[in-house]
Structure 1
């Protein structure tokens, strides 16, 4: 019996194959690195070997089956850019972000990533191999060259939802009449003008991508991977063939959100996978502060990328005065120490956000509307007041408002008044808290947890050598066939031919009649 048990255990251990996974999170945005860390954690827990290329190296990295490649120099791209601060946006009232600027930024980030000496050492080593490449995706597909280099499947992780710029890589693009662009402030239903606006935004984006930024990405791809494949005795495939060859795309959104467009089978929602389960316990001073707040807690954070200390001092003081008039305890994540802070307001330079939101005494979450924060609000069932600043934050907050668990306040010099009014509404109307708890229940009503789903599909892609059976048939159908332009051409040609024959017959008949009259 003992031998049978030992044999069974040995068989199970042998049947579990450890994969070598290259995880690449290249954007100099701290919140995106949180997603990367989540991916690494789940893969390591499943027993796989992970090489993590990151802009934000882990301070206490795992000691088993893990190594990290430091590309922190990418931070230089955003280090001194004042246009990415709340103070700049406040002064210039920027609500729409330029597609061209983001495409160029992503392109330059890719260039700097592949010029990084630490990454070059990795990809130039002919003895390195990986079973799958797992990369962050934002406006540049040049990282798909890594899957060519290692002759393995390519998996993307997109930090937002089912937007057409991403779906186009594995399926045809969604209809702009009911799917706003991720940079758009428009929400559903769209007016006639907004539908035209969305259509134009898509045309413009595609023009910029096709004729301006994609040719530069092609150069990066060819200059980076051409010599590497030549050393290995292989020919570099065409860039377009590679960029449209992804096996799977994970999206950091979830199925509880309304008005999601249709997606192909190889597009998977895994929103919330970065949240640890169970969450880390609150540090004692946070625990005591929240539990001793008789009227509840309002948590205010604009994320890891936006800095509240870029706001004008007068506006900060007005916000403090407004918060000081509330009965509730206010926890405000702020980068510097502030003078003359009201007794009920607590300024913290760092906050364990998931652990705070998990506490039942937290009544309202004031946020910029980043997708990680939006996901955590749904996960823990906390209604939000959104103050979007740029990128996808407008779309996220608009969706939250449509779904009934959020209020939106614009970033302007009347921000204290706007927040005061929104807080008053939310504290006295329980519809918002009820709605977010309803959505949270839908979110948690799932067969598997999002982290486990990531591991399953990564393993499935490798086992099935690219999971081609999941790919959309529409992806392989040319645009002219999807729009039946060939059928339309045949019909027009047939109509023209019939018209020509009739015209020829009438001409001949007229000639005969004319000849008869002459005779």
Structure 2
């Protein structure tokens, strides 16, 4: 056979190239301004940014010079660093240690109020620091010009601390929230009907099944959140809105104007409740199939044989448990036939057994996905709870602070976890709880059922998150998904004005009828008297 002429080969290659270009999906990278919250919230945001970067989007991250975790230089993003003189690390550490000590010693009413006051002061201080930083941005004309000239497609922000929300309004950009918590409380309460009769307020420790006294407690906790927003958090943002936002605003109305809420929860985990069309549930979006463990860790895990492995971590925020608690836990682990991997920072427990491996860091996701893992001893952070659901590992929970008890309560209500309060932990209670979760099959069966439900979705949570971010970029926002409720005054929202009108009308009609009857009665009496005369 003869060779094909060169010009024909070139023609075919050109034709194939055109075909490939024609069938390649368009991938127009967007320009996204990111205003994250530091700490564990950044862990979630970074995972989302990694996926956005992989899909060709250009990312700019605003960070504080005192940031704990948000690096100034990164292959994922360009950073804008805001100079801040102080952070909250020391205040935060002191608060956590005081909180754990109070749990161990049994908190009195006075201690509870002191801890609540300290917590609210810490949160208020965090908001004040960031509102001051926001003023610094607005006063820097070069920075404002640079932000304007960059022609961002949207602002992606975490509204637990809300300077990003105000900045999006100032720059007149569409806004996507990576959210579970807002400036005060949980995000649903700002945008969706939230009857307190069956929707537990964060921090209340209640479920969606409440008796009369529990409903009273729920209302009291909701009042604390309203107080926090009205008097501690709101004024800082209101002052900035009045000064820099045309027409003024308040932070709750700005949150309600957000185009899309990427909500880090789902109804496998959360109690059922009313929601809104612009809320997209991405609970577990950070979860992926387990990757192989490092060789030394795999060898340790396999050495456990049929008994399997227990893993324990209390998150990144706790530097060390109280020594007596750590020693009690270590002594129980030493008795177990299982091997134990324990992320423990601080003084090495004196009662540590040969079966326990102490580590500074562990590949938590990959361990949870390993078939040898039998129980996850955890503090109840959102990430850990969702990863336990994804991989189907039952949980022995030791909540320490914030939302951790509420998170674990949702698993316990579904029979997939058992909660031990820090103040109740001793060798006996910890051993009983651990053996219960290990040997009662219902715990593993229930968490694996939740895992099947969580995975049974038409799109992965991450794909949903990316789709809706890109949706907002394509359509320059999503106002058609927002309710008009946020534009209404409270008396219109609750139809108080309508009820007053109807009551007034009913009262006028009733009084009119009474007046007519009285007139007729009086007239009848006069006629009767006239006839008698």
Q: Give TM-score, length-normalised by structure 2.
A: 0.84
**Cα distance in structure 2, aligned partners of 1:349 and 1:428:** 28
Deviation at 1:437, TM superposition (A): 1.2
Shift in alpha-carbon separation, 1:283–1:494, aligned structure 2, 3 A: same
Deviation at 1:314, TM superposition (A): 2.7
Matches of residues 37-436 of structure 1 in structure 2 within 5 Å?
A: 37-54=46-63, 55-57=67-69, 62-63=74-75, 66-70=77-81, 76-81=87-92, 82-85=94-97, 86-87=100-101, 89-91=103-105, 93=107, 98=116, 100-101=120-121, 104-111=124-131, 113-114=133-134, 122-123=143-144, 125=146, 126-138=148-160, 140-159=161-180, 165-169=186-190, 171-222=191-242, 225=244, 235=246, 237-239=248-250, 241-257=253-269, 259-275=271-287, 277-294=288-305, 295-307=307-319, 309-311=320-322, 313-338=323-348, 340=350, 341-412=352-423, 414-436=425-447
**Cα distance in structure 1, aligned partners of 2:512 and 2:372:** 82
Question: What is the aligned partner in structure 2 of residue 445 from structure 1?
Answer: 456
CA contact (8 A) 1:71 1:119 kept: no
Cα deviation, 1:345-390, whole Å, max 9, x if unaligned, reads 1111111211211111010001110111101101111100111111
**Cα distance in structure 2, aligned partners of 1:322 and 1:57:** 34
Deviation at 1:417, TM superposition (A): 2.4
Matched residue of 1:439: which SS? helix
**Cα distance in structure 2, aligned partners of 1:512 and 1:280:** 95
Question: What is the aligned partner in structure 1 of residue 6 from structure 2?
Answer: none
Deviation at 1:457, TM superposition (A): 0.2
Shift in alpha-carbon separation, 1:348–1:72, aligned structure 2, 3 A: farther
Cα deviation, 1:136-185, whole Å, max 9, x if unaligned, reads 122x5442122123321111111469x9741244x333111111112221
Q: Give TM-score, length-normalised by structure 1.
A: 0.86
Shift in alpha-carbon separation, 1:400–1:13, aligned structure 2, 3 A: same
**Cα distance in structure 1, aligned partners of 2:462 and 2:42:** 16
Shift in alpha-carbon separation, 1:447–1:60, aligned structure 2, 3 A: farther
- Mark the runs of 5 or more structure 2 residues left unpaired by the alignment: 1-11
**Cα distance in structure 1, aligned partners of 2:80 and 2:289:** 29
Matched residue of 2:374: which SS? strand
CA contact (8 A) 2:338 2:355 kept: yes
Matched residue of 1:246: which SS? coil
Shift in alpha-carbon separation, 1:346–1:66, aligned structure 2, 3 A: same
CA contact (8 A) 1:247 1:266 kept: yes
CA contact (8 A) 1:159 1:371 kept: no
CA contact (8 A) 2:309 2:339 kept: yes
Deviation at 1:508, TM superposition (A): 3.3
CA contact (8 A) 2:193 2:275 kept: no
- Mark the runs of 5 or more structure 1 residues left unpaired by the alignment: 227-234
Larger relative contact order (C-alpha < 8 A, sep ≥ 6)?
1
1:489 aligns with 2:500: yes
**Cα distance in structure 1, aligned partners of 2:213 and 2:390:** 35
Deviation at 1:286, TM superposition (A): 1.4
Deviation at 1:506, TM superposition (A): 4.1
Once structures 1 and 2 are overlaid, which stretch shifts more, 367-376 or 86-95?
86-95
Shift in alpha-carbon separation, 1:269–1:109, aligned structure 2, 3 A: farther
Matched residue of 2:209: which SS? coil
Shift in alpha-carbon separation, 1:338–1:73, aligned structure 2, 3 A: farther
Shift in alpha-carbon separation, 1:491–1:401, aligned structure 2, 3 A: same
Question: What is the aligned partner in structure 1 of residue 466 from structure 2?
Answer: 455
**Cα distance in structure 2, aligned partners of 1:74 and 1:191:** 48
Shift in alpha-carbon separation, 1:91–1:33, aligned structure 2, 3 A: farther
**Cα distance in structure 2, aligned partners of 1:14 and 1:320:** 55
CA contact (8 A) 1:142 1:218 kept: no
Shift in alpha-carbon separation, 1:413–1:432, aligned structure 2, 3 A: closer
The CA RMSD measured in Å over matched residues stands at 3.1
Deviation at 1:117, TM superposition (A): 7.8
Question: What is the aligned partner in structure 1 of residue 45 from structure 2?
Answer: 36
Matched residue of 1:22: which SS? strand
CA contact (8 A) 1:303 1:368 kept: yes
Shift in alpha-carbon separation, 1:345–1:60, aligned structure 2, 3 A: farther
Cα deviation, 1:322-346, whole Å, max 9, x if unaligned, reads 2111111111111135154210111
Shift in alpha-carbon separation, 1:490–1:237, aligned structure 2, 3 A: closer
Deviation at 1:193, TM superposition (A): 0.7
**Cα distance in structure 2, aligned partners of 1:507 and 1:43:** 77
Shift in alpha-carbon separation, 1:160–1:386, aligned structure 2, 3 A: farther
CA contact (8 A) 1:71 1:113 kept: yes
Matched residue of 2:269: which SS? coil
Larger radius of gyration: 2
